[in-house]
Amino acid sequence: MSEHTIKAFDHELEALSRRIVDMGAVVEKVFGDALDGLTACDVNLAGGIVASGPRLDALRREIEGSAIVIIAREQPVSVDLRECIAAIRIAGDLERVGRRSIDIANRAVVLTGESFSPRAFIGLKLMRQFAAKQLSGVLEAYTQRDVARARAIWLGDVELDALEDSFFRDMLTFMMEDARNVPFCTHLLFCSKNLERIGDHATNIAEMVVWMVTGESMPIERPKK
Amino acid sequence: MSEHTIKAFDHELEALSRRIVDMGAVVEKVFGDALDGLTACDVNLAGGIVASGPRLDALRREIEGSAIVIIAREQPVSVDLRECIAAIRIAGDLERVGRRSIDIANRAVVLTGESFSPRAFIGLKLMRQFAAKQLSGVLEAYTQRDVARARAIWLGDVELDALEDSFFRDMLTFMMEDARNVPFCTHLLFCSKNLERIGDHATNIAEMVVWMVTGESMPIERPKK
């Protein structure tokens, strides 16, 4: 490749990476609004993002399309090819984080007006804080190509699993104490499952960052609580 | 490319496609054992597949690795490149179908010995039948590059969503009638959510088959019930 072609190619890879960062920011906003909407019982905030699915889908498709065009036209190898493949996979995980958040927002809208104990939210708020930290951390690790940070996020996922387990037990108790808690607690259980899966997607992205930069795969077995 | 090189390349693509078909068969077995284990309360059957996660992960990684080697070495374009990208994405969806099935198997093991009403299984069995049909159908559509079949599967997913919705209401009633039903029904609710997501993964694979063969993307909005 001529120097001029190499520069143009670098610009294309940079643009691809920037699209991922931009999509990450959109997904973080959807996540934040869904969880604020749920825990503050703010139906407007939650309702504002329930229709974001097609936008997330479009962002993912744009990233996939760009990556495939680069692969077909520039025929990259080694780290450049890994950048393109990682972009396709990370966009998929980001879309799923958004879809999970939208599921939470839908439940926040359904739950408006239901009677409930505010204590039920405590465990969910802890999970939300932790998932938000994992998500923003892995997006920074991607932006800075920070392998050490990505590995730390990969290892941290066990804490979210432990929080979900504890929340699950808590909700069962609530429901068995009083049947009127059943609909509300059932929805919160699905919200906590969504948060746990959002953590899994952050872990997937962390694996992608490590692989993209180093070419190494993380161990097949993830750490267990 | 010389004729000899083209033939070798075709063999590589065929081998990649065969790996997907083989992984599909493994995933269908995991799915079947998990659901039989749950609905027949057969703890041995369910317990036999709870440790399949690393195997599924390894199968996905092998497919990704093969696809990336083909892209880097053969620098395919158009339908050949789409075959490689689709293999990466389909392997990801298949692994997730397996993971969801393992989650169901884990719950089947937890539920062993719990008292419950067999009536609770009726809705779940309907969902299982439908999800199994979608999964085997989309794997056949992939094997035969059958775009019409893939489109039909894509459209069929709404029925599974409707079955899940009805099962959700059923379980709420059970739990509110008798608090002793709460732990059992909660696990079944997560099983039905897993079945609904397995249907989503079949739909994702259907989209991939259409795109792989034709280069066309399915509409961003999926049909709604």
End-to-end CA distance of chain A: 50
Q: A175-179, A196-200, B15-19, B87-91: lowest mean pLDDT where?
A: A175-179
CB contacts < 8 A, A to B, total 76
pLDDT value of residue A19 = 98
- Tell me the average pLDDT across A4-24: 92
Per-residue pLDDT band for B222 (boundaries 50, 70, 90) equals confident
Residues B194, B99 contacting (CB under 8 angstroms): no
The closest alpha carbon to B86, from B23, B142, B135, belongs to: B142
Q: A172-176, A196-200, B115-119: lowest mean pLDDT where?
A: B115-119
R_g of chain A computed on alpha carbons: 20
Cα separation values, A124 from A35, A171, A176, A191, Å:
9, 11, 19, 8
Token pair recorded at residue B74: 């053969």
Please tell me if residue A208 touches chain B, with a CB cutoff of 8 Å.
no
Please tell me if residue B92 touches chain A, with a CB cutoff of 8 Å.
yes
Q: What percent of chain A has pLDDT over 90?
A: 85
R_g of chain B computed on alpha carbons: 19
Residues A191, A116 contacting (CB under 8 angstroms): no
pLDDT value of residue A225 = 56
Interface test with B, best of A60, A173, A175 (most B CBs within 10 A): A175
- Tell me the average pLDDT across A57-77: 96
Q: Given phi > 0 = left and psi -120 to 50 = alpha, else beta, which region is B128? A: alpha
* Residue B225 pLDDT greater than 90, yes or no: no
pLDDT value of residue B1 = 60
* Residue B213 pLDDT greater than 90, yes or no: yes
Helices and strands (H, E) in chain A, number of each type: 7, 0
Angle at Cα A40 formed by Cα A23 and Cα A181, nearest 5°?
115
pLDDT in tens, B113-153: 776 777 788 999 999 999 999 999 999 999 999 999 999 99
Alpha carbons A123 and A163: distance in angstroms, whole number = 7
Identity (one letter) of the amino acid at A29? K
Per-residue pLDDT band for A114 (boundaries 50, 70, 90) equals confident
HSE toward the beta carbon, residue B142, CA cutoff 13 A? 32
Give backbone dihedrals phi and psi of A220, rounded to 5 degrees, phi first: -65, -40
* Residue A80 pLDDT greater than 70, yes or no: yes
Residues A94, A64 contacting (CB under 8 angstroms): no
Shortest Cα–Cα distance, B144 to chain A (Å): 24
Residue B217: DSSP 8-state: P
| Mean model confidence pLDDT for chain A | 93
All residues of chain A having their beta carbon less than 8 Å from the beta carbon of residue B175 are: 175, 179, 182, 186
Please tell me if residue A92 touches chain B, with a CB cutoff of 8 Å.
yes
The closest alpha carbon to B214, from B146, B155, B137, belongs to: B146
The closest alpha carbon to B93, from B212, B187, B10, belongs to: B212
Alpha carbons A1 and A11: distance in angstroms, whole number = 14
The closest alpha carbon to A177, from A120, A125, A104, A121, belongs to: A120
Per-residue pLDDT band for B94 (boundaries 50, 70, 90) equals very high
Q: Given phi > 0 = left and psi -120 to 50 = alpha, else beta, which region is A75? A: left
HSE toward the beta carbon, residue A59, CA cutoff 13 A? 25
- Tell me the average pLDDT across B18-22: 98
HSE toward the beta carbon, residue A102, CA cutoff 13 A? 18
Shortest Cα–Cα distance, A77 to chain B (Å): 5
- Tell me the average pLDDT across B50-78: 95
Please tell me if residue A1 touches chain B, with a CB cutoff of 8 Å.
no
pLDDT value of residue B221 = 78
The closest alpha carbon to A20, from A58, A63, A52, A56, belongs to: A63
Alpha carbons A56 and A26: distance in angstroms, whole number = 8
* Residue A221 pLDDT greater than 70, yes or no: yes
User: What is the value of ipTM here, to two decimals?
Assistant: 0.92
Per-residue pLDDT band for A220 (boundaries 50, 70, 90) equals confident
Residue A144: DSSP 8-state: T
pLDDT value of residue B118 = 75
Please tell me if residue B186 touches chain A, with a CB cutoff of 8 Å.
yes
Q: Do B176 and A172 make contact, defined as CB atoms within 8 angstroms?
A: no
pLDDT in tens, B161-207: 999 999 999 999 999 999 999 999 999 999 999 999 999 999 999 99
- Tell me the average pLDDT across A30-41: 94
Name the residue with tokens 């036999």. B48
All residues of chain A having their beta carbon less than 8 Å from the beta carbon of residue B200 are: none
* Residue B157 pLDDT greater than 90, yes or no: yes
B positions 55-84 inside 8 Å of A (CB):
57-58, 61, 64, 68, 71-72, 75, 77-78, 81-82
| Mean model confidence pLDDT for chain B | 93
- Tell me the average pLDDT across A119-144: 95
pLDDT value of residue B120 = 80
B150 Cβ neighbours under 8 A, 6+ residues apart: B138, B141, B142, B206, B207, B209, B210
Q: Given phi > 0 = left and psi -120 to 50 = alpha, else beta, which region is B55? A: alpha
The neighbour count for residue B211, using CB atoms within 10 Å, is: 19
* Residue A174 pLDDT greater than 80, yes or no: yes
Q: Helical H runs in B178-220?
A: 182-214
pLDDT value of residue A222 = 77
Residue A215: DSSP 8-state: S
